[in-house]
Structure 1
């Protein structure tokens, strides 16, 4: 592989989490977009922000990076892991603060005219048009926050939390 290909984000991509593995499998036609989306709903995503998000900040006070697709549609830019943002942040002046968000919260707050691009500039990424996002939201329902399984408790914490009476 040439240095130019590596510089263009075409380096060997090694999946580091379930979502990346499924996106890679989807590119090979082995899983559906619905399967990828189900995993996405259980996964944290990293949005590149214009400033650090502090406790108590309202999301209206900060700006996440948006890009425009070939048809002029807006795409919310997110990444599957914080380390995936590094090269991208170096190239985007003013957007250098990767911030972790639960995917359902990001998706619930997306406008109907927004699409989604995951891992832009990397060989394993996915772009979903605004129409595709709306379709997936309808398929999985707006109540997905209630349908996400609660994280399992750590085994060593059983009974150690204070009880209120």
Structure 2
């Protein structure tokens, strides 16, 4: 891969991922806040195992709690690693690309975990429109983060062969 093509592809995908991870973080944060506000009144009528968990999600289905928590983690980690990845890709040398590759792979794995939970929630049935938006963005992020990770890894190979 030519040096300019890999660098520009990784840079553009990182910019896109910053915005998508920000949206995931905002929607997940809203859902956690909504659940915290409404959990006292809703969870008081539940049986003991469900009442022990401090956050009860009064919307969605049984997979919603795990989806929201893991998407919040993936959103925050992905946002931060995409920002640092932009800095590393701009410099485009071996140590910075290795750092960007590791953080990109970490973000991708967390995104795949959240994406799997989103697929499970879709499979289980009806969800709120905000949750459908979150599920859709997580599925899109799984693909864009994969391509970003591949572009950074291709850049490592290019930098190593050129000896920069």
TM-score, normalising length: structure 2: 0.28
Q: Structure with the greater relative contact order (CA < 8 A, sep ≥ 6): 1 or 2? A: 2
In terms of fraction of residues, the more strand-rich structure is 1
